[in-house]
Structure 1
Amino acid sequence: MSHDEPTNFLYPFIDAEEDDSASLLADLAASARAKATESFALRRSTLQANADLLHRAGAEMARRFATGGRLFTFGNGGSCTDSTTLAGLFARPPIGKPLPAWSLTADQAIVTALGNDVGFELVFARQLIARAQAGDIAIAMSTSGNSPNLLAALAEARQRGLYTVGFAGYDGGAFAANPNVDACFVVRSQSVHRIQESQALLGYQLWLTVHSGDQSLGAA
């Protein structure tokens, strides 16, 4: 990291070049506690604000899984790893019945081939064209809710009869009030870190809700 790059927005007491190690450790501990408190409060308020939507989305997803539907997840950057984790939770759950779920970012050859041949904006939409069918489910994960390739994939999914779910932060971005998004979960925070922490919990709660929405899914 360049010495000219500011980091004081994360840890101002480090940039202040504190000479007292005990004081520095105390500041670090206080910062960690403050972030944990902030994260806990946001996760709790996010679950409360999305409780009804979680119930509705989980019920619809359970209905589609029960009739042979499949889940496709996708995202960029950190949201790529989050979407892959979510697909893995459905496909390889700690308890209950495995459900057909795939991350559209998992195959590097496909992603890079599509990015090179047709453009990065279509890397997810083109996979849905090849693999998805009416009755399936698409989940796009984003912190901004504005990524062009996610919006293109959601539009393609909606056109093909998929149930479309968006995860977004801030004010929901272009995902919010979008006719191509059936259910939009918004984490109302300005921090990417806090947004992704809350989205992880939302995804886990959605998985639980899907299983509780159809008792046939609870049996291994």
Structure 2
Amino acid sequence: MTGTLYPFLGTGQVTVEDVTRSTVEKAGESLALRLQVLERLGPALAACAAALAEALRSGGRLFSFGNGGSSTDAQSVAQLFLTPGKDGRSLPAMSLTGDAALLTALGNDVDFDVIFARQLAALGHPGDVAVALSTSGGSANVLRGLEEARRRGMVTVGFAGSGGGRMAAEGLADHLFVIPSSSVHRIQEAQTTACHVLWELVQRSAAEA
């Protein structure tokens, strides 16, 4: 794996120029993908932001979730929406990945696949928002979370990579954003950018209301 990411390692001939070139190439790939995503998904992000702004204005709350690195991203999304925008407005949001006791209890006592669905069944209401993050679009617990959110009448938002996986195939998200890359690193970087843009658009919409 390391050899794939950094082919110059292990050769005994690593130079500062090699490291610099690799870093610059990866930064260039990341920037190009982010710009491509924003160009392609801009209108869809705007439509999603309008739906989220309306849901949050009407008393809804945003719930975010994901696994691994996407778990950290889900916590960042919740914190981002809790952060006041230029108009000083904090929006109600919660990450479903922040309570270690609850996650381990559900995983150990019931099934790891239900760790998000069970929380949404207890906390979610019609008009709330579910934001699911996955690099593959195929994580069972993320998909079950979206299914439960849909049953609850929530607005469902999905972020996935590559071809979108089951998240795309089964149409589980009202608003789906697929990052056209097979690299986990590039997918997560582009998803982060898209989430920030979504937050900015929601804040703008909320300020105009």
TM-score (norm 1): 0.91
Q: Indicate whether 1:208 and 2:200 are aligned.
A: yes
Report Cα offsets for 1:147-186 as digits up to 9, x if no partner.
Answer: 0001001000001100000000111111114332101111
Partner residue, 2:187: 195
Q: Indicate whether 1:101 and 2:98 are aligned.
A: no
Partner residue, 1:86: 77
Of 63, 80, 83, which residue of structure 1 is paired with 2:54?
Answer: 63
What CA RMSD, in Å, does the superposition of the two structures yield over aligned residues? 1.3
Cα contact 2:85–2:203 (8 A) shared by 1:
no
Report Cα offsets for 1:53-106 as digits up to 9, x if no partner.
Answer: 101100000001101000000000000000100100001246431111000011
- Cα distance in 2 for residues equivalent to 1:90 and 1:136: 14
Cα contact 2:52–2:129 (8 A) shared by 1:
yes
Cα contact 2:130–2:146 (8 A) shared by 1:
yes
Cα contact 1:7–1:15 (8 A) shared by 2:
no
- Cα distance in 2 for residues equivalent to 1:12 and 1:151: 35
Of 6, 11, 21, which residue of structure 2 is paired with 1:16?
Answer: 11
- Cα distance in 1 for residues equivalent to 2:56 and 2:85: 18
Of 125, 144, 150, which residue of structure 2 is paired with 1:152?
Answer: 144
- Cα distance in 2 for residues equivalent to 1:98 and 1:87: 11
State the Cα distance separating 1:214 from its structure 2 match. 2.7
- The aligned length equals 208
Q: Indicate whether 1:38 and 2:20 are aligned.
A: no
TM-score (norm 2): 0.96
Q: Secondary structure at the match of 1:68?
A: coil
**Structure 1 residue identity aligned to 2:72:** T
Q: Indicate whether 1:25 and 2:51 are aligned.
A: no
Cα contact 1:171–1:188 (8 A) shared by 2:
yes
Cα contact 1:13–1:27 (8 A) shared by 2:
yes
Distance 1:216 1:66, change over 3 A: farther
State the Cα distance separating 1:14 from its structure 2 match. 1.6
Q: Secondary structure at the match of 1:50?
A: helix
Distance 1:112 1:216, change over 3 A: farther
User: Which ranges in structure 2 are unaligned for 5 or more consecutive residues?
Assistant: none
State the Cα distance separating 1:7 from its structure 2 match. 2.2
User: Which ranges in structure 1 are unaligned for 5 or more consecutive residues?
Assistant: 1-5
Question: Which shifted more, 100-109 or 169-178?
Answer: 169-178
State the Cα distance separating 1:13 from its structure 2 match. 1.3
- Cα distance in 2 for residues equivalent to 1:54 and 1:101: 18
Distance 1:180 1:190, change over 3 A: closer
Question: Which shifted more, 205-214 or 92-101?
Answer: 92-101
Cα contact 2:129–2:156 (8 A) shared by 1:
yes
**Percent identity of paired positions between Structure 1 and Structure 2:** 48
- Cα distance in 1 for residues equivalent to 2:123 and 2:67: 20
